[in-house]
Structure 1
Amino acid sequence: MSIGALDAVAAYGRAMNTAAPKAGAMESAGEAPASGGFGGMIEHFVTDAATSLRTAEAASAQQVAGKGDLIDVVTAIGAAETALDTVVAVRDRVVNAYTEIMRMQI
């Protein structure tokens, strides 16, 4: 499946519209508003993935110590795996887009 530049731009626009918080939504949650744009979105994805990985690691440590539930461990590991797969997929798309832009003739 080939994805054109306009398809990528349209997908990015849709992602920004769905991922952009409503005015005051982040402030009411006690979080600082993230910087807008692509860099802020990537930072958000990486931060969420790191949080998921830490949660999975903590659940695994509790299970090893005999204090955790196996279902919680499996759920946390599944969420962490999904978050990591998402970050890797976005990274791959960004690298592919960059190499394609570099090949363009001006």
Structure 2
Amino acid sequence: MSIGAFDAVSAYGRVLGATQTPKIAETEAAPETGGSFGGMIEKLVSETATSLRNAETASAKQVAGKGDLIDVVTAVGAAETALDTVVAVRDRMVNAYSEIMRMQI
């Protein structure tokens, strides 16, 4: 199954929107302006790492008999989606770099 970059980013945005509540006052006061690409990548990687840690913690709780299986499945699914997104963005960046290197000056 091939995941396009826009599909992956869209899916990641839906997952983030479902897990976080928006701050209305902050959104109205300061509309979001375009940030740097590096900042977006840094945020994406840190959120993915957090998601993977949450899945690992939920799995450890389940193994110890103190967690719920539904929580483990949900955490692992979120981590998988986040990791798929990071991989899709990485693949697109590598392809773009390769295209730029093949360009003639």
TM-score (norm 2): 0.68
Q: Percent identity?
A: 78
> Which has the higher relative contact order, 1 or 2, with Cα contacts under 8 A spaced 6 or more apart?
2
- Distance in 2 separating the partners of 1:92 and 1:38: 15
Q: Which runs of 5+ in 2 are unaligned?
A: 14-25, 28-34
Q: State the TM-score, normalized to the length of structure 1.
A: 0.68
The answer to whether structure 1 residue 58 and structure 2 residue 54 are counterparts is no
Segments of 4+ moved more than 2 angstroms: none
- State the Cα distance separating 1:75 from its structure 2 match: 0.3
Q: 2:37, 2:104 → 1: CA distance?
A: 24
Unaligned runs of 5+ in 1: 1-7, 19-23, 26-35
Trace 1:60-79 onto structure 2 (pairs within 5 A).
Answer: 60-79=59-78
Which whole-Å CA distance do the structure 2 matches of 1:96 and 1:48 have between them? 24
**What is the CA distance between 1:105 and its match in structure 2?**
0.8
1:50 Cα deviation from its structure 2 partner: 0.2
- What count of residue pairs does the alignment treat as equivalent? 81
Name the aligned partner's letter for residue 53 of structure 1: L
